[in-house]
Amino acid sequence: MGKSILIVDDSASIRQVVSMTLKGAGFEVIEACDGRDALSKLTGQRVHLMISDVNMPNMDGLTFLREVKSRPEYKFTPVIMLTTESAEDKKMQGQAGGAKAWMVKPFQPQQMLAAVNKLVGP
């Protein structure tokens, strides 16, 4: 059974590419289109890694991060935040206490896979 990864992004194409890349590498992937959607899809199952966009409608990435980290079953799950080089996003990085991993968009699928492998192993 492959390790399970959650991808949260409001862009369907990013979700699709990330999802295909990760599935191709043997991971199981859960997709969600925003923070709220993601929270509803996390029902206590084991998730090895979460990848979340910052800037999303309904529930942004930082709020999602805060919410998910408050759940005991996901407290220690690594989260990669997808960000941009914009000043606003950089400022947000400073505010995101629970996030230590940031990946700047745009990225190549292989870069994502590498990051995932660092955190949860190949």
Partner 1 sequence: MNIELALQTFLDESRELLSDMEQILLDLESQPGESELQNALFRCVHTVKGSAGMFGLDHVVDFTHVVENVLDRLRAGEIKLSKALANLLLRCRDHISLLVEVPEPAEAVDLQPAGNALLVELEPFQSLPASGNGQTPQPQNSEHGKGDLWRIGMRIQADALRHGMDPLGFIRFLGTLGELVSVNTLDDGLPRLDQLDPEACYLAFEIELRTTANRAAIEDVFEFAGDLYQLQLQEPGSAPEAVAAPATTDMDIVEAGSREGKMQPADQADAQRGRRRKPVQHFRVQADKLDHLINLVGELVIASAAVSLDADRSGNSTARESAANLNLLVEEIRDSSLDLRMVPIGETFQKFQRVVRDVSSELSKDIELVITGADTELDKTVVEKIGDPLTHLVRNACDHGIESPAERSQKGKPALGRVHLNAYHESGAIVIEVSDDGSGLNRDRIIAKAVERELVRADAELSDREAFNLIFEPGFSTVEQVTNLSGRGVGMDVVRRNIEALRGAVELVSPGVAGGTTFRIRLPLTLAIIDGFLARVGEATYVVPLEMVVECTELSAEQQAVSNEQHYIKLRHEVLPLIRLREHFSHGGERSRRQNIIVVRHGGQKAGLIVDELLGEHQTVIKPLSGIFSHLKGLSGSTILGSGQVALILDVPALMHQVAQHEDVANRGIHPNARPRLSASYS
Partner 2 sequence: MSSALQFDADTGCITVAGELTIYQANAAAESLRSAFASGSLRRIDLAGVTELDTAGLQLLLMAERLSAHGEDPVELVNHSQPVREVLEVLGVGAPS
Summarize as ranges the residues that interact with partner 1 (CB under 8 A).
10-14, 16-17, 20-21, 24, 49, 55, 57, 75-80, 82, 84-88, 90-91, 93-94, 98-109, 111, 114-115, 117-122
Q: How far is CA 119 from the centre of its chain?
A: 12
Q: Collapse the DSSP code of 89 into the 3-class scheme (helix H, G, I; strand E, B; otherwise coil) and give the result.
A: helix
- Asked if 73 interacts with partner 2 (CB under 8 A), we say yes
Tally Cβ neighbours within 10 Å of residue 93.
14
Counting Cα atoms < 13 Å in the Cβ hemisphere of 32 gives 25
Name which of 73 and 88 has its Cβ closer to partner 2: 73
Please give the single-letter amino acid code of residue 34: D
Choose from partner 2, partner 1, none: what does 43 bind? Cβ within 5-8 Å by kind.
none
- Applying CB under 8 A, the residues found at the interface with partner 2 are 46, 73, 75-76
